[in-house]
Amino acid sequence: MSQRDQTTSSGRLNGLHYSFGTSGTGHSFTWSPPASSGSQNQLNHAELPPEKRRRLNEVQVNFEAEGVAKIRLGEGMTLDFTSNHREAKKKLSDVEAERDQLLQRLDETGKSHEEALSKVKSEREESIRDLREARLLYDRITSASRAEMAKLQQQLKQAKEDNEKTELELENAEDEVERSTIGSLDSMDTEISPLVRTIRYLRNDHSKTLARNNKTIANIKKELQSSRDNHRAVSGLLKMRERELEACRDHNAKRIDGLREFNTKYMGEIGSLRSKVKELQDALDKQKEKTIIEL
């Protein structure tokens, strides 16, 4: 019992006073043996043995799990509250069973929410990993294409420089021939033959070199065009992957919005369940207090 719910009993000379209840309200009764009339059949309390005198003033109180069940006053009076306590205990058991069921539903709803949230997080992390891998692949392909294009451009530049150098040598040789023709015919006859051979050799070598350079330039242009085509294909593939990732991102956003709506509904249901549990707990407390008051 709380401090407000008090039960007191006090023995009086040849009698008994008993009171119980809550603050402000309560019940009490007093029992006294019949007054002594001097009759021979009247029981004289002072002349009884000690064990009987104690039994007349004895108050026996039995406690069960939910409070007082029986109160015995003396030998001839017993107050029995067993049926009331049995009914209260049954109601209490029903309320506790309903409370346990609501708590179980609350736990199941929480687990379902956590599983859905974990699944969405896993899908989102997988999408992020795919996007990162696609970006790394794009960076590697772009870097390799740029390096190859730079190499081909360097080769083309070197071929142009070799061609210009060959043309310059030919022009110098022709100038040398022209300068040599100014001399005498005799010296010209003796000198012109090696110069002519040199010119022929240079022209033949120039033609071969030019053909090789043209072939090299054509091959370089083909390789450059192939690299550009590969770059376009990779760019198209990356754009397609970006569109797929964007669609996946939109799908995930819709899923997240759905989860947020589910979470809002879930929180509302939790609030409702908690309110109901609180109402049941309050009803349980009131029922306990009412049972104690009735006792």
Each residue's pLDDT tens digit, 80-92: 555 666 677 788 8
Name residues whose C-beta falls within 8 Å of residue 241's C-beta, 6 or more positions apart in sequence: 134
Q: What is the pTM of this model?
A: 0.28
Choose which CATH entry (3.90.25, 1.20.120, 1.10.287, 1.10.1740) describes domain 111-274: 1.10.287
The DSSP code for 222 is H
Q: CA 164, CA 161: separation in Å to the nearest integer?
A: 5
Tell which residue, 158, 171, 163, 177, has the closest CA to residue 207.
163
Query: Is residue 8 classed as helix, strand or coil in its secondary structure?
Result: strand
Whole-number percent of the chain with pLDDT over 90:
0
Tell which residue, 294, 244, 219, 280, has the closest CA to residue 93.
280
Q: What would the pLDDT profile of 245-267 be if each residue is shown by its tens digit?
A: 788 788 878 887 877 787 788 77
Domain with CATH 1.10.287 in the chain: 111-274
Q: What would the pLDDT profile of 148-184 be if each residue is shown by its tens digit?
A: 888 888 888 888 888 788 888 878 877 776 666 655 5
